[in-house]
Structures are given as structure tokens and as C-alpha cells.
Chains A and B, each alone.
Chain A
């Protein structure tokens, strides 16, 4: 567990006056408050640090203890024991702080170790709320998992929630599960659960929205003369006719063989196949002779 320099976090000297602390906190809080930095985990982390620093430095009792022990904080417990007989609970006249929706519920181990869980719990309750807290979760799935609509059980804050994952959901897309956030207060509604999908594509197909893309190797003679090949689509193999004189890099579209369209039953994008013509290797003498003849024919044409 590392020592945390709360003065450094707020950009203050150790002799900072309460008003300096308040000003520094307010300035940094405006910069890093999660409400003005949506989906920015780095800002959220900074805000938690700032909140924690303010929690300590703006409370005379905590600041005194922090200043006294500093880097020698691990002896703080002894300090606590010595003064326990005359101690009254912290925070009887606490100032109003920032909402526990952000930051204050995630105090560092350092904080918990020095000031204890009970104090932190008190902090969590300090702000009035109405609607419950929103929860955010990330769900990692493979591309194959989101090809079909399916149910999945998630554990969020110790509770099991069964959700429907709709086919065709996009990588990075967020869905809202209403009422599955934190409980409401004073008759207010529960918060919501936001699930962001992180979709890992370990297939041969590239995805662009509802369309899929893949490359298929095509042997030279089939490209020249045409024929039939079997290709992989996302839901199985299909036979495909190859036109004579197919060029390298040319593309064919298999309509409706792409990815499901989000929340549209039985609607699919297209599959685009790019041909990669493979020339033969290890030619025999006879093959070389015949190819030379072909080359000469082409030259004289």
C-alpha cells in the first residue's frame, strides 16, 4: 500500500489555509467532475483522488492526523488507540461535499487504513439523493455470441440479472437496463444499469455495421475458366459460381449473408467476398512448356 500525498493531488503546500484547500478542490472538481467528463475513466479516477484528498485535508481532525504521521502513516493505528478514550465520532459538523455518485464511495486502501471504514461509510451517506445511482458494466462477448439473440445472466453488485442480448449489437454500444441500478431514496426510483458491449472478433470475417467482409483464395484455373467453389459464410458453407476470367481482388456480394440487423427480426446485411487468386507453385516441365505456349499465344494476339 502506497502513501498518498494529498497536498500534491490538490497542488498545495503543507501550510495551505482552509480557504486555499477549498479553492483548489473546487477548481479541480470542476475540471474532473464526471458529469462534465462523460465516459472518461481517467477523469473519474482523478476526481476520486481529488475527493479523497479534500475529504482528508478539509477536515481538521483528519488533516491533523495525516500531517502528524505523513509517510509514517502505518503507525496511525497506535495513535488511534491512544486517543480512543477521548474520541467522539468524526464529522459532527461536516461540510456538504460532492455527491457520492462519484468518487467518495471508492476511497483508497490508504485512506481506509488510516481513517477506517466507519468514517468512509459516514461519507457515503452525506449527500441527499432521490433517484438511485446508475451502475455501469462492461460485457465482453465474441462476435459469434452476438450473431443470435440470447439470454445471459450477469452478476452486478452481487445480484444476478438476466438480460437479453439482441443479435447485431455493435462493439462499443451501450444498452440501458432500467431500474437495475442502485435503490432510490425517499420514494425515488431506482437507478439504471448501463451495459457497454466489448465485442471480440476472432473470426475470419471483418464487420462493418451489418455487412461482413472476407477474402477467399481462388486457384488460377478456376479464375480463368470459371467454376464452382464452396465458401464459408457466418452461418455455414454455401456453393458459389465463379465467373470465367475473374480478376484478382474482384468482389462479389452475397445478399443477406451478413450480420443480423440490430432489433430487426430476420433482417441481415450482406457478405462481401474478395477473391485472392493463387498462382500455382512447383511447376513441372510440361506445365512450364504449356504456359510458355499460352504466353506466346497471348503475345501474338
Chain B
């Protein structure tokens, strides 16, 4: 448990945010959390995503709805960037 998950309270204390915020992210399908022995945990794999959301929220003052839109658009950007790399490599065939 300790190696794969992080206590949400620890995460929130470290980022100076309310636990409620992470639960809201979960309710909006933005992060996965796990309930075990009456404590909420964040899977380690979710940490980069959760921290990015925290940055958008606390540093850029973007609300949850905005974060949802940005998250969707970023997924599309990342997919398109992967396609660009694939197509650039393909283009080398003809150069």
C-alpha cells in the first residue's frame, strides 16, 4: 500500500489544498482514488496528473470546468503530437 499509493491528506498538506478538492476531481472523473480502511489514497501513477491539475488550479486560477476542458484538449494535443512524429518519420522515406 505504501509503495503504490499516497495518502490524500499527505498530498493535500504538501500542496496546501483542501482534501475536498481531490474528492471533487474524483467526482468529475479527473483522477482515480482508492478508499481503504477509512482513508483515501491516490495511486502513485495518478500523481503527475493530479499535480498538473493542482498547478492549473492554484497557479493559473482555472476552475474545475476549465480543467476538464483543458485535460480533454491536452489529450488531443498529445495524440496529435504522436501522429506528427509518426508522419515525420514516414516522410523521411520520401526525402
Contact = CB atoms under 8 A, between A and B. Distances in A.
A binds B: yes
Interface string B33-51: 0000000000010011001
Contacts of A101: 55
A89 B51 CA distance: 31
Contacts of B11: 130, 188
Chain A interface size, as a band, is 20 to 34
A128 interface: yes
Contacts of A35: 52, 55-56, 60
Given A172-B88, A187-B10, A130 B77 contact: no
Contact of A171 (B13, B52, B89, B93): B89
A257 interface: no
Contact of B89 (A129, A170, A192): A170
B81 interface: yes
B65 interface: no
Contacts of A185: 14
**Dominant secondary structure of chain B at its interface with chain A:** helix
Contacts of B92: 201, 206-207
Nearest to A127: B59
B27 interface: no
A38 interface: yes
Nearest to B59: A98
A246 interface: no
B6 A36 contact: no
Contacts of A187: 10
A146 interface: no
Contacts of B55: 33, 35, 98-99, 101
A169 B94 CA distance: 21
Given A35-B52, A38-B78, A208-B90, A129 B14 contact: yes
Contacts of B81: 38-39
Given A36-B70, A188-B6, A172 B89 contact: yes
Closest 6 A/B residue pairs (Cβ): A172-B85, A130-B14, A186-B14, A98-B59, A131-B47, A206-B93
Interface of A: 26, 29-30, 33, 35-36, 38-39, 98-99, 101, 128-131, 134, 170-173, 185-189, 192, 201, 206-209, 213
15 contacts: A33-B55, A33-B56, A35-B60, A36-B56, A36-B74, A38-B74, A130-B47, A130-B51, A170-B89, A173-B85, A186-B13, A188-B6, A206-B92, A208-B89, A213-B93
